[in-house]
Chain A
Amino acid sequence: MFLEAKDIVKAFGAFRAVDGADISVAENEIVGLIGPNGAGKSTFFNCLAGDAEPTSGTIRFLDQDLTRATPEAHARLGMARTFQVPVTFEDMTVLQNVMVGAFLRHPHRTDAQDKSRQVLEFTGLAHLAGSPARSLGTPGRKRLEIARALATEPRLLLLDEALAGLTPAEVRLAIDLVRKIQQQGITIIIVEHIMEVILSLAERAVVFHQGKVIAKGAPRAVVDDPAVVSAYLGHHMKRVRM
Chain B
Amino acid sequence: MRTWPPIGIAAFLIGFVVIAAWPLVVQDVFYQRIGALVLLAAISASAWNLLGGYAGQVSVGHAVYFGAGAYASLVMFTQFGWPPIAGAPIGVLVSFAIALVVGTPTFRLRGHYFSMATIAAAELIRILASNWPLVGAAVGLMGPPVPRSIWDLSFISPVPYHYLFLAVLIVLLALTWHLQRSRMGYYLAAIRGGDRAARSLGVPVLRYKVYALLLSAGFTSLAGSLYAIMVGFADPDSTLGILVSVKMLIVAALGGAGSLFGPLVGAVILIPLEETTNAMFGGSGTGITFIVYGAIILLIARFQPGGVAALWNSILHRRQARVS
Over the window 190-209 of chain B, the binary record of Cβ atoms lying under 8 Å from chain A Cβ atoms (1 yes, 0 no) is 10111011111111110000
Measured in the bound complex, the distance between the Cα atoms of B252 and A167 in whole Å is: 43
B324 sits at the interface (CB 8 A): no
Over the window 9-39 of chain B, the binary record of Cβ atoms lying under 8 Å from chain A Cβ atoms (1 yes, 0 no) is 0000000000000000000000000000000
Over the window 114-136 of chain A, the binary record of Cβ atoms lying under 8 Å from chain B Cβ atoms (1 yes, 0 no) is 00000000000000001000000
Q: Which residue of A is nearest B2, CB measured?
A: A130
The answer, among A75, A89, A99, for a CB contact under 8 Å with B202, is A75
13-35 of chain A: CB within 8 A of chain B:
none
- Pick from B182, B192, B203 the residue with the most CB of A within 10 Å: B203
Min Cβ gap B27→A in Å is: 43
The answer, among B2, B193, B202, B205, for a CB contact under 8 Å with A104, is B202
Q: Are A112 and B189 in contact (CB under 8 A)?
A: no
Q: Which residue of A is nearest B181, CB measured?
A: A109
Measured in the bound complex, the distance between the Cα atoms of B199 and A160 in whole Å is: 16
Set of chain B residues within 8 Å of A107, measured between Cβ atoms: 183
133-180 of chain A: CB within 8 A of chain B:
148-149, 151-152
- The count of chain B contact residues (Cβ–Cβ below 8 Å) is 22
A54 sits at the interface (CB 8 A): no
* Interface size grouping (class) on chain A: 20 to 34
Min Cβ gap A81→B in Å is: 5
Q: Do A149 and B201 contact each other (CB < 8 Å), given the known contacts A87-B193, A92-B189?
A: yes
A83 sits at the interface (CB 8 A): yes
Measured in the bound complex, the distance between the Cα atoms of B205 and A109 in whole Å is: 19
Q: Are B200 and A80 in contact (CB under 8 A)?
A: yes
Q: Are A72 and B203 in contact (CB under 8 A)?
A: yes
Q: Which residue of A is nearest B207, CB measured?
A: A72
Set of chain A residues within 8 Å of B192, measured between Cβ atoms: 89, 91
24 residue pairs A–B, Cβ–Cβ below 8 Å: A51-B200, A71-B196, A71-B199, A71-B200, A72-B199, A72-B202, A72-B204, A75-B201, A81-B200, A83-B197, A87-B193, A87-B194, A89-B189, A89-B194, A100-B187, A100-B198, A100-B201, A100-B203, A104-B201, A108-B183, A109-B181, A109-B182, A112-B183, A130-B2
- What residues of chain B have their CB less than 8 Å away from a CB belonging to chain A? 2, 181-183, 186-187, 189-190, 192-194, 196-205, 258
Q: A83-B196, A87-B197, A149-B201 are in contact. List 15 more A-B contacts (CB 8 A).
A: A51-B200, A71-B196, A75-B199, A76-B202, A81-B200, A83-B197, A83-B200, A87-B193, A89-B189, A91-B193, A99-B186, A100-B186, A100-B203, A130-B2, A149-B200
